[in-house]
Chain A
Amino acid sequence: MIEVRDLTKRYGDLVAVERISFTANKGEVVGFLGPNGAGKTTTMRIITGFLAATSGTVRVEDFDIFDDSHEVRKRIGYLPENPPLYLDMTVVAYLQFVGRIKGIPRARLGDAVDRSLQRCGLTEVRRRVCGHLSKGFRQRVGLAQAIIHEPSVLVLDEPTIGLDPRQIRDIRALVRELASERTVILSTHILQEVAQICQKVVIINAGRVVVEDQIGHLTQDAPLEEVFMRSISGGTSEEAIA
Chain B
Amino acid sequence: MRNALAIAAKDLRSQFVSPIAYVVLTGYLLLGGWFFFNLLARFNTLLNLYLSFRNPEAMDRLNLNEFVIAPLLHNLSVILVILVPVITMRSFAEEKRSGTYELLMTSPITVTEIVVGKFLGAFAFVCLMILLTGVYPLILVLYGNPEVGVVLSGFLGLLLLATAFVSVGLLTSSFTENQIIAAVSCLVTLLLLYVISWPADTAGESVGALLKYLSLTEHFGELVKGVIDTRDLMYFGSIIVLALFLTQRSVESLRWR
Question: A residues near B, CB below 8 A?
Answer: 11, 45, 48-52, 70, 73-74, 76, 78, 80, 82-89, 93, 97-98, 100-103, 145
Q: Among A50, A85, A93, which residue has the most Cβ atoms of chain B within 10 A? A: A50
Question: B residues near A, CB below 8 A?
Answer: 2-3, 6-7, 10, 13-14, 17-18, 98-110, 255-257
**A52 x B102 contact (CB < 8 A):** no
Residue of A whose beta carbon sits closest to that of B107: A101
**A100 x B108 contact (CB < 8 A):** no
Residues in B neighbouring A50, C-beta threshold 8 A: 102, 105-106, 255
Residues in B neighbouring A101, C-beta threshold 8 A: 3, 6-7, 104, 107-109
Residues in A neighbouring B106, C-beta threshold 8 A: 48-50, 73, 76, 78
Residues in B neighbouring A49, C-beta threshold 8 A: 105-106
Residue of B98, B101, B102, B107 touching A102 (CB-CB under 8 A): B107
**A102 x B10 contact (CB < 8 A):** no
- Enumerate 23 A-B pairs (CB-CB under 8 Å) in ascending A order: A48-B102, A49-B105, A49-B106, A50-B106, A52-B256, A70-B108, A73-B107, A80-B99, A82-B99, A84-B99, A84-B100, A85-B98, A86-B10, A86-B100, A88-B14, A89-B10, A89-B17, A97-B6, A101-B6, A101-B7, A101-B104, A101-B108, A145-B103
Shortest beta-carbon distance, B174 to chain A, in Å?
16
Shortest beta-carbon distance, A63 to chain B, in Å?
12
Residues in B neighbouring A48, C-beta threshold 8 A: 102, 106
**A80 x B102 contact (CB < 8 A):** yes
**A76 CA / B106 CA spacing, docked (Å):** 8
Residues in A neighbouring B109, C-beta threshold 8 A: 101
Residues in A neighbouring B101, C-beta threshold 8 A: 84
Residues in B neighbouring A70, C-beta threshold 8 A: 108, 110
**A120 CA / B109 CA spacing, docked (Å):** 25
Shortest beta-carbon distance, B2 to chain A, in Å?
7
The answer to whether residues A86 and B14 also contact, given A50-B102, A50-B255, A52-B255 and a CB cut-off of 8 A, is: yes
Residues in B neighbouring A87, C-beta threshold 8 A: 98
**B14 x A84 contact (CB < 8 A):** no
Residue of B7, B17, B255 touching A88 (CB-CB under 8 A): B17
Residue of B whose beta carbon sits closest to that of A93: B13
**A185 CA / B89 CA spacing, docked (Å):** 36
**B255 x A98 contact (CB < 8 A):** no
**A76 CA / B255 CA spacing, docked (Å):** 17
**A229 CA / B99 CA spacing, docked (Å):** 32
The answer to whether residues A100 and B100 also contact, given A50-B255, A86-B10 and a CB cut-off of 8 A, is: no
Residue of A whose beta carbon sits closest to that of B257: A11
Shortest beta-carbon distance, B8 to chain A, in Å?
11
Residues in B neighbouring A80, C-beta threshold 8 A: 99, 102-103
Residue of B whose beta carbon sits closest to that of A81: B99
Shortest beta-carbon distance, B10 to chain A, in Å?
5
Residues in B neighbouring A76, C-beta threshold 8 A: 106
Residue of A whose beta carbon sits closest to that of B2: A100
**A93 CA / B17 CA spacing, docked (Å):** 13
**A84 x B255 contact (CB < 8 A):** no
